[in-house]
Amino acid sequence: MKLSDAAEAMGFKTIGAKPSFDKLKQAPLPLIAHWDKQHFVVVYKIRNDIVYISDPAYGLIRYSKEEFISRWIGNNADENTKEGITLLLEPTPAFRKMMWEDYEQRSLSFLFKYLFNYKNLIAQLTIGLLVGSLLQLIFPFLTQSIVDVGIQNHDINFIYLVLFAQIMLFLGRMSAEVLRSWILLHLTTRINISLVSDIFSELTFRNVIFIKLYFYFL
């Protein structure tokens, strides 16, 4: 009851059940299972008779059907007749509201944490932006020098020199743009991978909180 009360306090609707393994595979996941007749684990995925659990003592583990049944029901269990104790969880609007409020409070710090991890790439991106802007700013002055100096003084060599400088600046600016685009793509890709990985881990490990709360209220 204490584990169920703790889950309901966090916004979940709970249902205690004693299903067989075949019925367990049809149950909504994640769910909490009684384990080794002494504590609880979170079952978060079942695929091809492989059961993936989160154990507070050992972390993320996977078991075959036979191994899982022996730990969940007992050593002499028959998956077709025996049943194990489970606590089914269903998120309610209160849970979604709590998750949204938590997201709003942590959104800025959550974002800055990932940006800080890639501060070197951000510095390179900023430098590339400044260099590209500086090169773009030089072009009007070179064009003006062609008119003011080259044409007025009839200095064809100076005109060729300025045109060559403009070509080199153009190539330099294009190179800076390509490099900046590559850094931006690399940065966003790495941040996206980190976000997806951390969100998956948080969704997986969040269920362990229920188990910790159970032992806390014992």
* pTM for the structure as a whole: 0.44
Amino acid sitting at position 95? F
Nearest to 67 by CA among 18, 55, 205: 55
What are the tens digits of pLDDT across the range 125-170? 888 788 878 878 888 888 888 888 878 888 888 888 888 888 888 8
What are the tens digits of pLDDT across the range 82-136? 678 888 877 777 666 666 555 555 555 666 766 777 778 888 888 878 887 887 8
CA distance between the termini of the chain: 11
User: For the chain, what is the radius of gyration of the CA atoms?
Assistant: 31
Nearest 10 degrees: CA dihedral of 155, 158, 164, 166? Answer: -100
What are the tens digits of pLDDT across the range 178-202? 888 888 888 887 777 666 666 556 5
Which residues are CB-contacts of 159 (< 8 A; sequence separation ≥ 6)?
A: 146, 150, 151
